[in-house]
Amino acid sequence: MASIGPEERELFESLATPLYEEAALSGGLKDNDPRVTEDGPLREALDLLVSLNLLVHDRENTVYLPVDPSTVQSHVVGPMSQRGAELLGESSEWARAFAGLSQSWRRSPTAVRGPITEFQGRAIGTFLNGAVAEAEEELLTAQPQTGRERASLKAATERDKAALDRGVSMRTLYQHSARRHALTREYVNEMSGHGTEVRTLDEFFNRMIVIDRRLAIIPGPGGDDNVAIAVQEPALVAYLVDVFERAWERARPFTSTERSVMNDIAREQRAMTIRMLIEGHSDPVSAKRLGVSARTFAGYVADLKAEYDAETRFQLGYTMGQIGVSGREDDA
């Protein structure tokens, strides 16, 4: 989210705090309330509460629900404290402003929300930056899609380097296709110099960050990039860590350029392309799972047609089936 300061705090104290208290005491705030619609007098206050993740939108029930302020406060106050002595006064003011919300939260009928929290929009970045800033031992990250923009990679570099400088270890998994993405290579080269270990796979599960094996951040339902889920349930976090570790063992070091490693990567991508064809996935779905563009995936298919002397995909599938090619030969 954008930087916050005295003006936002004044809005927070004058309008946003009473609005939050109302939502907490009544069990939620209807999204069609005329005060918070596009031109409503409290719309700006609502936007601030949502950006701070103090209110989350429940689409199914068309209501904004309050979030425990104690889970949010540190992600606003903590980064301020790190920015230097000139912000100490402002961070203490924010801490004082948040303190007044706890009593309202405790009286709220929605206070018991469990160890899973949903974040939306700009609140995702605010929470993520604060959570990584609090990491003490280990970061595990998975970035299955390439094509990240320079601005997002620069922000990730600064955030992650700060964690590494504090002594936090970091391991990251990409798909093999990330090796051909120039900006990703730059990021990996810089982060490897600070101690990050990076490996790649032919296919990987969805984006994920695990912090100190106590908190996992994953995408919302359907892979919606505008929604993130923070998981603090120990059993679920342990399961996600186990999935990561199993994938890590199968992955190839990013910085390795040995001929044997590159040959293995080419073989794995070829096998993955064959499996996508046999399973009947569309080009967009297949390309996403391989982490490449639809055009690149079509090129992989064209190479297979040439290899098996097939003019159509049907002929290609038939020929591979006749000779027993499945894309899983290495699994045997």
pTM higher than the cut 0.85: no
Mean pLDDT confidence for 280-291? 78
| pLDDT tens digits, one per residue of 169-213 | 999 998 887 777 778 888 888 888 888 999 988 776 678 999 999
Catalogue the E-assigned strands of 202-261. 208-211, 215-219, 227-231, 252-253
Nearest to 15 by CA among 56, 39, 43, 37: 43
Tokens 């046999």 belong to which residue? 278
Tens-place pLDDT, residues 22-38: 999 988 999 999 999 98
Q: Which of 109-113, 138-142, 271-275 has the lowest mean pLDDT?
A: 109-113
**Tens-place pLDDT, residues 6-18:** 888 889 999 999 9
Most confident range, picked from 109-118, 237-246, 266-275:
237-246
Around Cβ 133, how many Cβ atoms within 10 Å? 18
- The SS3 of residue 69 is coil
When mean pLDDT is compared across 4-8, 148-152, 253-257, the lowest value belongs to 148-152
* pLDDT tens digits for range 133-144: 888 899 999 987
